Amino acid sequence: MTLREKQIEDFANSQVDCEFFNEDLYEGIIIGAKWSDEHPDSKRIYTKQQLIDMGFAFTTNGDIVTPDQSNEDLKKYLEYRKQKFIEKAKEWLKRTLYIHTETEEDKHWCEIKTYDWVTSDYDSVEDFINGFCKAMEE
């Protein structure tokens, strides 16, 4: 017995509890479902290839991907791409920026003060931004 035959039989059997159940109704359900399966309405039924041609996606098991599932997959992919972009940007910044320390001696108070700041080999902010954009496009 195929899965579809089992589905038809299970539905027909579920009608046993129906107040109006009789043997003719049971047979009618089975005959009607089989006829319907053998005579599909081409306006309401599509082949898998027609669905693929219309742009529907399928899993590796051959199941159709629902719009909700497709949207969820897209959200996951976009989050993944965002994280990869952030990682790439952080690596570029680590390679490009460094801390410069300057020491200043205060002879009056006999103190040595140090000042740290972040710098790079770029000559201007505009050059820095252009370098960043170029690196992110690669």
- Contact by Cβ (8 Å): 131, 122: yes
> pTM value?
0.52
Determine contact, residues 90/133, Cβ cutoff 8 Å.
no
Region class of 62: left (phi > 0), else alpha (psi between -120 and 50), else beta: left
How high is the mean pLDDT of the chain? Answer: 86
Asked whether the predicted pLDDT for residue 16 surpasses 70, the reply is no
Between 80 and 113, whose confidence is greater?
80
**Vertex 92 angle, CA 84 and 79, to 5°:** 15
**pLDDT at residue number 94:** 94
Tens-place pLDDT, residues 84-134:
999 999 999 999 999 988 888 877 788 888 888 899 999 999 999 999 999
Mean of pLDDT values over 19-27 = 73
Q: Per the structure block, which two tokens stand in for 106? A: 């205060």
